[in-house]
Amino acid sequence: MKKRFNVLLLLASAFAFGQLTPNEFDYFVQFNGSQFSEKISLDEILNHDAIKKISKTDKDFNIKDYTSLIDMNKNISIHGNFTDSITFYQITIPIRNRDEVKALFMKNIKQNHQEITDSVKKDIVDYDTYSVYNASNSSISTAWNDDYLIILEFIKPTMRNDSYSQFYDVSPIYDEEAVEVVEAEDSDEYVVEEYVEEEEYVEEESLEVPPAPVEEEIEWAIETDDSYEYDYDSYDNEYLKEIEEADLKRKEMQNQHINFLFKNGFTPPVSEKINPKADISSWVNYQSSFNYLKTLTGVIKSIFSRNSNINDDRILKNYIKGVNFNFYFENDNARIEQSVEYSSSLAEIMNKVVNRKINNNIFNYFPNENPLGYMTYHINSKELLTNFPAITEQLYSVSNPYLEQEDMEIITDLISTFIDEEAISTLFDGDVTMFLHDFQKYESTYTTYEYDENYEEVEVEKTISKTIPVFTTLFTSTHKTMGNKLFDLGVRKGVLIQRNGYYEVKGADKEMGNLKFIKKGDVVVFTNGMNYITNGSNSDFSRDLKKDLKKNYMKGSVNLKDLIIKYVSNEDLGKDTTKMLKVSQQFEKIDFKSSKKIENNKHSMEMSLHSSNDDKNIILQTLDLIEFLSNKK
């Protein structure tokens, strides 16, 4: 065990060079302090009434004691690895003063201990250029110098199939008596004697029936050794002692790493994956996430180890590399940008899938006025089906250890044989759009049974009011015959009723209003709001959306303000009505879109929350709303 521990100390020093090789981090989150502080100060957030209420819940905790030490003109970061030889995380915080940090820790120690003993004082160790705090009741180590404070922890692994996990295998070991197995001596020859049955002659006169056996009671004596007693307390104490020793050794490893970081001056970690223009930027390595899941349990690890051909090269070549999330907080909106980085081979395929020329016939059924919400999605279904075998091979082969490259080629050939990409893609070309137009009160009549005064069952007709959404869903299909045949089938089976220019869904009016299908040319429409999509192609909404769809393959929006007001006016929400109306007054809408372009193998998506006001940062506006909702009961 000591040998393993010494090796791990060397590994700790080795992985510390991750500070100089930032691309090896499995995840990295950075709060860009200088960028963020230009928009809103930390004091504005902490002095908000909503935050004050949170801090008052714990009288011994004052958040300002901690935040006053932070230098918000520098960056705060969280990074770590979960696939390295040692799993760890590190939080890096810029500070204003080294002595004030120590004073805060001493204050906390004093609150948690009635008496500051020498052993408690040893939790904080001062070196020339930095200080270290190792709380006896915590597994983390905290270190700081004049400029930065870090919180570091080497996470105890759950795996049991490598040397590092065995180092932490502290299950109690019970001695068992050795059982000697005596093997028979080998003989050169094995003689089989033939058995000859001898005939025995018995005279008939001398044959006598023996008397029935007499059952005798036999007493079984069980010898027990009462002198042996199992000492559970001893083994429990040994188990706890080994856990304590393992924790201390992990703390020692952390201190070794801290010494490496601070002895020649601390350099804050950086990553080229981080966007310095965002308020908050983050990166997650999908390949490392996959490897971590692959080795999460001993069972999964043993399965993957059966195939020696499963290696990281296949993942690097065929998998999604990672994802970026960038957050921006302005006065009138909050924005999230997501960027997925594909492998080069997958990016080439996805570029063909999302780059589709929209069927213009679909715009003929766009609404004639702005809807409450919509989402429109346009992909090249033919390219998706054509490249489906390649996508299957690239993604699935990585996650299945039993499939070799040759196995996947057989599967993809079978898929290509059974799938007629040209024919299937005409059933659904790739254009699909959904609209939410309105909410309407709808009276529904139903029949129930009750008992009269004579206790006889009688039929009673009742009417209830429902609030139903008015919506439209439409998609394009260029198949010459399948659409009409399906509608004819619905008519023959009594599900649809054919009207003048449309098909009505039989019996749907009781739940969802007057549902109708329209099939005109390449466009199929499913709606219960026919009057909202008449002559919609010439509306301002349709023209603006056409322009956006030239650059984006997916776009959507939810008008929060009008949606909430419409819903509240048709539905009695009781005490929650005031809260809902307040939300509608605070926030305008949510927009989201995804570009057709894939640049440098990266595909982006953006989502924005728009505020109705711009007099203060949207973070403060959100806190205002939280405070209002918490006061309403």
Q: What is the pLDDT of residues 374-385, one digit of tens each?
A: 999 999 888 888
CA distances from 553 to 368, 372, 622 (A): 22, 21, 31
Q: In the structure encoding, which two tokens stand for residue 399, read together?
A: 């996650």
Per-residue pLDDT, 175: 39
Average pLDDT of the segment spanning 41-56: 77
Name the CA radius of gyration of the chain, rounded.
Answer: 37
Element containing residue 194 per DSSP (H, E): none
Distance between CA atoms of 296 and 83, rounded to whole angstroms? 10
Residue predicted with more confidence, 450 or 443? 450
For residue 128, pLDDT over 70 is answered with yes
Q: Binning pLDDT at 50, 70 and 90, where does residue 310 land?
A: very low
For residue range 78-121, what is the model confidence (pLDDT) as tens digits? 999 876 667 889 999 999 999 999 999 888 887 776 555 555 66
Q: How many CB atoms lie within 10 A of CB 133?
A: 21
pLDDT, tens digit, 9 for 90 and up, residues 521-563: 899 999 998 889 876 667 888 889 999 999 999 999 999 999 9
pLDDT at 152 over 50: yes
Q: Among 390, 80, 110, 119, which Cα is nearest to 254's?
A: 80
Q: What would the mean pLDDT of 30-35 be, rounded to a whole number?
A: 91
**CA–CA gap between residue 8 and residue 3 (Å, rounded):** 9
Contacts of 83 (CB under 8 A, 6+ apart): 26, 288, 291, 292, 295
- Whole-number pLDDT of residue 441: 84
Asked whether 133 and 121 are in contact (CB, 8 A), the reply is no
C-alpha to C-alpha distance for 374 and 367, rounded to whole angstroms: 10
pLDDT digits (tens, 9 = 90+) for 131-147: 999 887 788 999 999 99
pTM value? 0.74
* DSSP classification of residue 559: -
Using pLDDT thresholds of 50, 70 and 90, give the confidence band for residue 454: confident
Neighbours of 27 (CB within 10 A): 19
Q: Are 581 and 296 in contact (CB under 8 A)?
A: no
Which one-letter amino acid corresponds to residue 276? Answer: P
What does the pLDDT read at residue 190? 43
Confidence of residue 220 (pLDDT cuts 50, 70, 90): low
pLDDT per position as a tens digit, 617-631: 999 998 888 888 877
pLDDT at 571 over 70: yes
Ranked by mean pLDDT, the top range of 259-268, 292-301, 457-466 is: 259-268
8 Å CB contact between 316 and 290: no
CA distance 228 to 339: 67
Which DSSP state fits 156?
P
Q: Which two tokens stand for residue 424?
A: 């299937």
Mean pLDDT on 508-524: 85
